[in-house]
Structure formats: structure tokens, C-alpha cells
């Protein structure tokens, strides 16, 4: 290492704290970095890559770095380029989905696909599943296509194929899923398409079938870095184990306290058992937090330590000041929204903050409605992360369907979407006839359009329109490799007359759609300027892997509204968490499963640690959900260490308490007291009512330091085990 390089190297390492520096310096062998919220994990990952290259241990092409979001991947790529300007395009940095898709496009023919396969989104999946359900006479009224899609996704992520799923289908609902799952996989292959889960699962299949291919990628990626390892599922875990098996140079960064995606297959045990998988691994803890105040960190830590499945760690900060966390009790969701809006308005009027400094986090999307109403009334700008994405708008999906069909002529789902767009007078009966002919002749739907004269029952005018449509697709497929993606898309849109049609409609809605299509053309043009591979297929792959955060402008001067899950990895000066009530946060379906409840607690930790300066925790005494009104304080608010919080109550609550003290004889008055039921005596055989489970009979009462535990046999849902302080049982 030369003198100049050594000096640069020393400057590089001087930017890190002691724990970060130790983690960066350990280059060889398996490494586990436990990085708490706001502890600089992205810096450690990027400096580690720079150190690998600067030390001569690796070249950029020897390294693969995997993340979960395009935002994180882009940030990592930019930081590495600043540290090592000549790192070039040979280093693979990206999301699991994008990098695995890259491998699959290279090796697609080995597993029965062509390299131009289409990546199906949730809408495409659902359309295909509905078709399969109709073919198998499975009622979409009895069995939800969305639920079937979710069941198939969970099975794939658990590495359970259609045959194995079939053997475990022990009830009609699972049998319906098994039937659809089998046909769904067969149809995907016929359509030359993969869904998001396939992008993670198919590499497993590839490596199992072709050991030499696996060895090629093991040699290609001698150093593996993984961000957010706690969020990996079984398929991702397997691929990483296979890739690292030869050299064992795998460095994973994560925080078990931030594992919040079990519902989509993530397995926190992957990080908890890393030391078991790699007994010789080096372990480092990043516990210095650069984001939040001591009170915010203390509150979050006091709750998450109630979990059993976790590494022992405690974040600390050099910040000495900061306000206590504010817990606010309100009458209902309308008052919750009004108080949040009032607090934001008051802060904004001081002139020290912009609207972009505020974020409101909630457990489910439905909570945003009352908040949106509040912001609209006050004229405060806001952005919802997780609303309709740009690429999910109808006019955009219609154009993308044309482009997808040009790249993958076997994509019948896209073809059926646009065969009558713009209107050509081609209806469902005609489509069914073509479909039947294509299956009978064992050809694709598009190929069948070249044989319309052989199909019975087609009117001459309809046949002519189909022939013209097939000719249009053929013409633009020939142009694929002759003109740029931007020019091809622009010419196609012009020939279809899409913008002309919007102009003729002359409505506000059509003007918006026209602007959206023009924005799509601009996106294709911008892609052409920066893409490593300037092809339509590459653009479509990028679009298919866009997430909510990719379309969110974090520089906008607007309040951000998002779910707690969507907020992961972000930070805001002021954060409000709304709806901290039992049954909402934690969700009612999580309360009876210890692992689900621990995940809800981790979600509270994640939400709390998004705040830099101020954190407000709101709960409502009443909230209209499923016809229910009365609600109860979340157990998480009862678990916080009180030294980190201050409490506020709305004027409505305060007034109700004053009235209650004045009119004690009126038993009909709702009582606003502490919701704990510790002082209520429950006996075996007593009849009770639960807010969610209905009426039931107490079977047993077991005293406990954390609150008495009851087993209640509910009339409708059977036996449930409840912890008394949180059960909110009414004695009948």
C-alpha cells in the first residue's frame, strides 16, 4: 500500500467510532454486526466495501451487497462511489429482488424460462388467479383471490411447492389454494412470467439443479454483504448460505429488535441463530445512536426489552438534552386528528420547522382517513406514502402492458389487458374463443391471432381488427432493437392515439391522465440517460421493482402520513404515532400468539426510534372499528418506563372527568379511569363479555406477577388465554 493510499485509508477509518471501525476492519470470515436504530449501519457497510477495495483484499467485481429497498441500495452505491470513485459498474449493489432477477435473466433457460420473462405484480397475479379459479369452477365469492395469492406467497417463501402444499391441504380452503397453486405455477411458466416471490425462490431451484452454476457465483462473489439481515426469509437465507459456502466471507448487518416482516415470511431467527450457522463468526455491536434524544431511546428500550427473542443490547447517545415523550389521551379519532393538526400548526407557526419535518405513523392504512380530513380542513399539505403509486395508475399500466407484450410475446395477461385498449370492439366472448383455440393448438394467445380465419364464430370485422392488432405488435417488436426505448414508446403511444383521445375527452381527469403518460415517457428518457443497459426490458424490470418509498419525495414541504412498516429506515424531527389502543396496536389477531405479539412490540420500537427530537404517542378512548366504539390503552403504553414520558389529555377527556366527579350517582356516565382490572375479582364459572371474542365462561384464574391470567371459553371462538390487565372483560 503506497503512502498516499495509506493516508487516504487512515482518513477513511478516522470517520468512524470505535465499534464501527472494528466492524469495518474485520474483512475475512463471517461477521455479524448488530446495528441498533440510528447507529450508522449504512456508513459501516459502505466503508467496509471501500476498505475491502483499498486494502487490496478484493476488487469491486468480487463484491455483492444486498439490501431490501431501492432507496438503501442507491444510497449505498452513491456513498461507495464517493469513497472509491473508480469502483465502477462491476460491483453488484441492489435489492435482493433486483440482483436475483439479474442472475435469473442470465440463467433463465436452465429453469424453463426465456431471459425476457415478465415480472408480475399483485394485480397481474390476481388476474391470473381469477382466470384459474374460473377454469376450475372455484367461486371467487367463497374463496378470496387476494387471500389465495397471499397463501401461495407464504408457501413459496417457506419453500413449500405445490405438491407438498397439496399433501398438507386438510380443509376445503386449503384444497382450493392447492388447486390454484398447481395451475398458477404451470401457467406462469407458459406465460414466461415470474412473480416477486419467484425472484427469491427460483435461484434456490437453480443452485440445486446446477452445482456448477452455483460454484460460478460463489467464485464471482467472494465477499457478501447483507443489509437488514433480520428481514430475510427462508429462501433468501438459503441462497445466502449457498453463495457463502465456499469462502465464508459473509458480513450481515441487522437489528433483531427491528424485525417486523414475519407476516410476509421474514424470520427473525435467521439473525438470532447466525452464530450457530457460522460458529467462528466475529460479532460487533453498534450501540451509539446518532438520531434520537435520550428520552426517546429510553422509552423504546423499556418496551422492547419485554421481548424474549432478542440479543441483549442498549442504545445510547451523546445528546444531553431533549424533551420527554408525550402520551396524549383523546376522546376519539376525530379529536386525535384535530390535536395532531393543532400541534403541527403551532410548531410550524413558530417558524423553526417546515411541514416536511413531521410524520404521522399508524398501524393500518384505514387510520389515515380522519387525519386526511383534518389536514384538508386546515389547508396543510400532506403526502401519503403507500397510496396509489404512479406505476399503478390505470393509464400507466395500460401503456406498460403494451411494452411488456413487446418484450415478452407470451405474456397473455398483458395482452388481454390491452387487446381492446384503445377500444377495438373486441369483447370477452371473442377473447374466450381465441383463448380456447390457443390452448387447443398449444400456442400463445398472440400466435393464435395469426390464425383468426380458422376460428369459428368470429365476425369478419372482428377478425380484421384482431389481424390489425397482431400486425401492430409485430411491427413494434421488430423495432425493439432498432430504436431507443424512449423513441419506441413515444411512437407507439402516438400511433395508438392515447394522448389524442385524452385531449378529445377534455376533462380534468383526462388532462391528469395525459400528464401521467407524458411523465412516463420522461421516465423512460431519463432511464436511457443513466442505465447500464439501455433496453426496454431493463426499464420494465426497474419499474416492476419500484416500491412506495421510491416514489416518495422526502424533500417535499408536506407532512408525511405512512404506516409504521413503511417508516422503517426513515427519520423525522417530529413523529406522531396514532392509535395506540389494544386491538389496533397491537392488532387483535396478534395478541394470542407470543411471536406475533413480540413482532408488534418490535414495530412499536421501530416507530418510536424514527423520531429525532420529539415523539407523541396518541390513544383514543373511543374508536369506531367494525362497529365497536369503546377502546383501551395499548399495553405498550403501560410497559413504558414512566421516567421518559409526560402525559396530556384532551379538553374533552378533562371535562368528562370533571363531570364524572360532580355526578357520581349517575351510573350511565362513561367513566374515564385507568383501564386496569387488577382490582376486579374473577371467579371460575363467571360469565363475561370480551370486546372482540364476545360472551364466554371463565374456566381458570391463575395469579401472576404480570397480572392474573384467565382461560375463557368463548361461545363463538372457543378457548382463549387472556392477561387480566389488558383483557378488558365485562362481567355479565
How many other β-carbons are positioned within 10 Å of the β-carbon of residue 651?
11
pLDDT at 679 over 50: no
Question: Which whole number is the average pLDDT over 671-694?
Answer: 63
Q: How far apart are CA 163 and CA 110, in angstroms?
A: 21
Task: Give the residue among 46, 50, 40 at the shortest CA–CA distance from 10.
Answer: 50
How many helices (H) and strands (E) would you count in the chain?
A: 30, 22
Mean pLDDT comparison of 134-138, 535-539, 574-578, highest-scoring range: 574-578
Question: Which whole number is the average pLDDT over 627-640?
Answer: 84
Q: β-strands 223-226, 250-254: how paired?
A: parallel
Residues 339/331, Cβ–Cβ less than 8 Å:
no
Indicate the CATH number of 3-108+200-288 among 3.30.70.20, 3.40.50.300, 1.10.340.30, 1.10.1740.10: 3.40.50.300
Q: How far apart are CA 198 and CA 195, in angstroms?
A: 5
Identify the weakest region by mean pLDDT among 266-270, 423-427, 713-717.
Answer: 713-717
Q: How far apart are CA 460 and CA 446, in angstroms?
A: 19
DSSP state, residue 583: B
Q: Reduced to 3 states, what is the DSSP secondary structure of residue 228? A: coil
Percent of the chain exceeding pLDDT 70 equals 91
Note the CATH number of domain 118-191. 1.10.10
Please report which residue ranges of 245-293 form alpha helices under DSSP H: 269-272, 274-277
CATH architecture designation of domain 390-545: Orthogonal Bundle (1.10)
Taking the CA atoms of residue 158, residue 159, residue 163 and residue 164 in that order, the dihedral angle to the nearest 10 degrees is -50
pLDDT at 676: 44
Question: Which whole number is the average pLDDT over 199-216?
Answer: 96
pLDDT at 354: 94
pLDDT at 359: 97
Residue 489 binned pLDDT confidence (cut-offs 50, 70, 90): very high
Q: Which fold has domain 298-389+552-657?
A: Rossmann fold (3.40.50)
Q: Average per-residue pLDDT in the chain?
A: 88
Q: Is 185 exposed, middle or buried (0-12, 13-18, 19+ CB in 10 A)?
A: middle
Give the tens place of pLDDT for each residue, 405-455: 999 999 999 999 999 999 998 999 999 999 999 989 999 999 999 998 888
Q: β-strands 31-35, 250-254: how paired?
A: parallel
pLDDT at 180 over 50: yes
pLDDT at 7 over 80: no
Place of cell 382490582: 679
Q: Can you give the three-state secondary structure of 93-123, one letter per residue? A: EEEHHHHHHHHHHHHHHHHCCCCCCEEECHH
Please identify every residue annotated as catalytic.
41-42, 227-228, 258, 610
Write out the three cell numbers for 23.
466492524
Residue 360 binned pLDDT confidence (cut-offs 50, 70, 90): very high
By residue count, the chain amounts to 732
Residue 673 binned pLDDT confidence (cut-offs 50, 70, 90): very low
pLDDT at 670 over 60: no
pLDDT at 5: 61
pLDDT at 675: 46
How many other β-carbons are positioned within 10 Å of the β-carbon of residue 58?
19
Task: Give the residue among 696, 678, 595, 728 at the shortest CA–CA distance from 256.
Answer: 595
Write out the three cell numbers for 110.
436452465
Q: Give the residue, 263 or 278, on which the prediction is more confident.
A: 278
Give the tens place of pLDDT for each residue, 287-317: 999 999 999 999 999 999 999 989 988 899 9
Question: Which whole number is the average pLDDT over 512-536?
Answer: 87
Q: Reduced to 3 states, what is the DSSP secondary structure of residue 143? A: coil
pLDDT at 633: 92
pLDDT at 254: 94
Task: Give the residue among 595, 589, 580, 599 at the shortest CA–CA distance from 640.
Answer: 580
Identify the weakest region by mean pLDDT among 73-87, 471-485, 650-664.
Answer: 650-664
Question: Which whole number is the average pLDDT over 453-477?
Answer: 91
Task: Give the residue among 80, 82, 32, 33 at the shortest CA–CA distance from 58.
Answer: 80
Compute CA distances 414 → 185, 446, 534, 558, whole Å: 17, 11, 22, 36
Give the tens place of pLDDT for each residue, 74-89: 888 888 888 887 766 6
pLDDT at 665: 46
pLDDT at 668: 47
Q: How far apart are CA 476 and CA 87, in angstroms?
A: 37
Residues 100/226, Cβ–Cβ less than 8 Å:
no
Q: Give the residue, 87 or 560, on which the prediction is more confident.
A: 560
Q: How far apart are CA 609 and CA 130, in angstroms?
A: 41
CA 2, chain centre distance (Å):
45
* Same fold across 118-191 and 390-545: no
Question: Which whole number is the average pLDDT over 475-500?
Answer: 93
pLDDT at 681: 66
Domain segments of the chain: what residues? Answer: 3-108+200-288, 118-191, 298-389+552-657, 390-545, 686-731
Amino acid at each position: 500500500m503506497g503512502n498516499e493510499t495509506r493516508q487516504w485509508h487512515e482518513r477513511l477509518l478516522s470517520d468512524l467510532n470505535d465499534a464501527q471501525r472494528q466492524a469495518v476492519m474485520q474483512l475475512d470470515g463471517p461477521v455479524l454486526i448488530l446495528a441498533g436504530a440510528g447507529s450508522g449501519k449504512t456508513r459501516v457497510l459502505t466503508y467496509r466495501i471501500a476498505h475491502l477495495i483499498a486494502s487490496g483484499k478484493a476488487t469491486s467485481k468480487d463484491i455483492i451487497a444486498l439490501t431490501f429497498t431501492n432507496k438503501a441500495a442507491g444510497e449505498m452505491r452513491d456513498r461507495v462511489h464517493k469513497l472509491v470513485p473508480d469502483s465502477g459498474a462491476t460491483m453488484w449493489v441492489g435489492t435482493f429482488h433486483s440482483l436475483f432477477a439479474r442472475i435469473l435473466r442470465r440463467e433463465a433457460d436452465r429453469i424453463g424460462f426465456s431471459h425476457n420473462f415478465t415480472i408480475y405484480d399483485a394485480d397481474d397475479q390476481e388476474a391470473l388467479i381469477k382466470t384459474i379459479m374460473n377454469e376450475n369452477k372455484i367461486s371467487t365469492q367463497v374463496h378470496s383471490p387476494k387471500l389465495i395469492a397471499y397463501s401461495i406467497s407464504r408457501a413459496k417463501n417457506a419453500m413449500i411447492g405445490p405438491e407438498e402444499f397439496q399433501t398438507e391441504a386438510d380443509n376445503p380452503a386449503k384444497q382450493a389454494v392447492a388447486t390454484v397453486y398447481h395451475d398458477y405455477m404451470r401457467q406462469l411458466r407458459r406465460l414466461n412470467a415470474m412473480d416477486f416471490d419467484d425472484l427469491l425462490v427460483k435461484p434456490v431451484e437453480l443452485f440445486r439443479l446446477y452445482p456448477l452454476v452455483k460454484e460460478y457465483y460463489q467464485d464471482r462473489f467472494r465477499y457478501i454483504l447483507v443489509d437488514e439481515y433480520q428481514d430475510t426469509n427462508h429462501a433468501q437465507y438459503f441462497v445466502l448460505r449457498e453463495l457463502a459456502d465456499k469462502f465464508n466471507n459473509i458480513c450481515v448487518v441487522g437489528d433483531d429488535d427491528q424485525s417486523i416482516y414475519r407476516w410476509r415470511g421474514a424470520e427473525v431467527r435467521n439473525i438470532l441463530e447466525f452464530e450457530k450457522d457460522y460458529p467462528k463468526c466475529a460479532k460487533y455491536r453498534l450501540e451509539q445512536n446518532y438520531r434520537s434524544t435520550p428520552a426517546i431511546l429510553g422509552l423504546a428500550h423499556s418496551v422492547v426489552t419485554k421481548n424474549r427473542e432478542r440479543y441483549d443490547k442498549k442504545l445510547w447517545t451523546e445528546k444531553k438534552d431533549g424533551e420527554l415523550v408525550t402520551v396524549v389521551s383523546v376522546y376519539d379519532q376525530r379529536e386525535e386528528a384535530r390535536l395532531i393538526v393543532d400541534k403541527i400548526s403551532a410548531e410550524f407557526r413558530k417558524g423553526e420547522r417546515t411541514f416536511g419535518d413531521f410524520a404521522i405513523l399508524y398501524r393500518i392504512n384505514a387510520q389515515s382517513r380522519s387525519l386526511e380530513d383534518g389536514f384538508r380542513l386546515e389547508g396543510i399539505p400532506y403526502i401519503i406514502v403507500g397510496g396509489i403509486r404512479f406505476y399503478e395508475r390505470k393509464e400507466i399500466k395500460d401503456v406498460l402492458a403494451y411494452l411488456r407484450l413487446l418484450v415478452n410475446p407470451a405474456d397473455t395477461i398483458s395482452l388481454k389487458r390491452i387487446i381492446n385498449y384503445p377500444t377495438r370492439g373486441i369483447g370477452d366472448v371473442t377473447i374466450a374463443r381465441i383463448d380456447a383455440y390457443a390452448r387447443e393448438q398449444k400456442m400463445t394467445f398472440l400466435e393464435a391471432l395469426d390464425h383468426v380465419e380458422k376460428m369459428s364464430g368470429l365476425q369478419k370485422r372482428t377478425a380484421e381488427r384482431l389481424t390489425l392488432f397482431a400486425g401492430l405488435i409485430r411491427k413494434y417488436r421488430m423495432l425493439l432493437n432498432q430504436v431507443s426505448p424512449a423513441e419506441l414508446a413515444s411512437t407507439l403511444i402516438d400511433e395508438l392515439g392515447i394522448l389524442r383521445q385524452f385531449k378529445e375527452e377534455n376533462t380534468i381527469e383526462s388532462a391528469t391522465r395525459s400528464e401521467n403518460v407524458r411523465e412516463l415517457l420522461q421516465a423512460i428518457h431519463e432511464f436511457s440517460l443513466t442505465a447500464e443497459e439501455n433496453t426496454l426490458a431493463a426499464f420494465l424490470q426497474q419499474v416492476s421493482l419500484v416500491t412506495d418509498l421510491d416514489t416518495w419525495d422526502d424533500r417535499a414541504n408536506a407532512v408525511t402520513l405512512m404506516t409504521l412498516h413503511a417508516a422503517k429506515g426513515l427519520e423525522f424531527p417530529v413523529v406522531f404515532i396514532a392509535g395506540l389502543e389494544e386491538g389496533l396496536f397491537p392488532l387483535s389477531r396478534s395478541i394470542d400468539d407470543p411471536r406475533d405479539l413480540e413482532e408488534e412490540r418490535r414495530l412499536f420500537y421501530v416507530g418510536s426510534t424514527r423520531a429525532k427530537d420529539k415523539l407523541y404517542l396518541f390513544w383514543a378512548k373511543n374508536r369506531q372499528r367494525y362497529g365497536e366504539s369503546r377502546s383501551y390503552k395499548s399495553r405498550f403504553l403501560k410497559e413504558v418506563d414512566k421516567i421518559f414520558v409526560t402525559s396530556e389529555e384532551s379538553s374533552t377527556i378533562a371535562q368528562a372527568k370533571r363531570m364524572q366527579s360532580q355526578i357520581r350517582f349517575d351510573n350511565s356516565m362513561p367513566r374515564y379511569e385507568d383501564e386496569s382490572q387488577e382490582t376486579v375479582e374473577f371467579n371460575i364459572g363467571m360469565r363475561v363479555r370480551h370486546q372482540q371474542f364476545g360472551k364466554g365462561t371463565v374456566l381458570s384464574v391463575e395469579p401472576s406477577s404480570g397480572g392474573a391470567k384467565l382461560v375463557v371459553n368463548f361461545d363463538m371462538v372457543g378457548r382463549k388465554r387472556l392477561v387480566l390487565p389488558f383483557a378488558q372483560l365485562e362481567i355479565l
